[in-house]
């Protein structure tokens, strides 16, 4: 075989290899801020999604950042500790979505959570962003259901300018957590906000 023929065959093989081994499309990345009162379970839920050991999780002091890998997106989640609520607003810049975690079983602090969420949603930096409210600890017998949580948090009113959804989850069921985050990803990727949310 002549040199030119061999060269042509080699180039064809290279082209065929490249066509068959194209790199997977880059997944979009989104900056998310995760908020909620102390002991709501934010750190535990994020640790589970990051495949970290969740039994030794301590409440976040200040803030932490985790890059959560999903098949169709990467969420860079900035978790802000409930004990530093007065400083939360300093970390809102650049956020593309909001996660607010509540302890569904802690009736004594749900009204406080409602006040906290209302304050968050009044901040112009976050205006109109996709919002996922995670009603955590749904496995507990005294947990409020999603309708009750929606009412206590006054979501229909305080989040009326947001593309929001409320989702029940539990640290005992990883799938329930993943489903909530998948719903948020769908909203982040949607070109147009969905008007009819919610439960």
The binding site for GTP consists of: 36-43, 82, 136-139
- Binding site per annotation, positions for Mg(2+): 43, 60
Q: What are the CA-CA distances from residue 152 to residues 63, 102, 104, 109, 172 (Å)?
A: 27, 11, 11, 11, 24
Tell me if residue 78 falls in helix, strand or coil: strand
Cα–chain center distance at 16: 40
Phi-psi group of 67: left, alpha or beta (phi > 0 → left; psi -120 to 50 → alpha; rest → beta): beta
- Contact yes or no for 91/98 (Cβ under 8 A): no
Q: List binding-site positions.
A: 36-43, 60, 82, 136-139
CA 161 to chain centre: 19
Contact 66, 78 (CB under 8 A): no
- Cβ contact 169:135 at 8 Å: yes
Say if residue 131 is exposed, middle or buried (CB neighbours under 10 Å; 0-12, 13-18, 19+): buried
Spacing of C-alpha 18 from chain mean position: 35
């Amino acid at each position: 075989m002549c040199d030119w023929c061999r060269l042509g065959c080699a180039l064809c093989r290279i082209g065929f290899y490249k066509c068959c081994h194209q790199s997977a499309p880059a997944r979009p990345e989104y900056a998310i801020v995760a908020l909620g009162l102390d002991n709501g379970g934010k750190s535990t839920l994020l640790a589970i999604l990051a495949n970290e050991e969740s039994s030794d999780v301590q409440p976040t002091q200040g803030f932490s950042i985790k890059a959560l890998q999903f098949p169709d997106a990467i969420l860079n989640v900035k978790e802000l500790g409930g004990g530093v609520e007065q400083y939360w607003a300093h970390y809102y810049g650049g956020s593309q979505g909001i996660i607010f975690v509540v302890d569904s079983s802690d009736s004594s602090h749900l009204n406080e959570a409602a006040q906290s969420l209302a304050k968050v949603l009044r901040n112009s930096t976050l205006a109109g962003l996709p919002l996922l409210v995670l009603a955590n600890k749904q496995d507990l017998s005294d947990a409020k259901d999603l309708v009750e949580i929606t009412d206590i948090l006054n979501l229909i009113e305080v989040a009326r300018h947001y593309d929001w959804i409320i989702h029940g989850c539990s640290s005992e069921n990883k799938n329930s957590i993943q489903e909530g985050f998948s719903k948020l990803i769908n909203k982040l990727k949607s070109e147009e906000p969905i008007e009819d949310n919610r439960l």
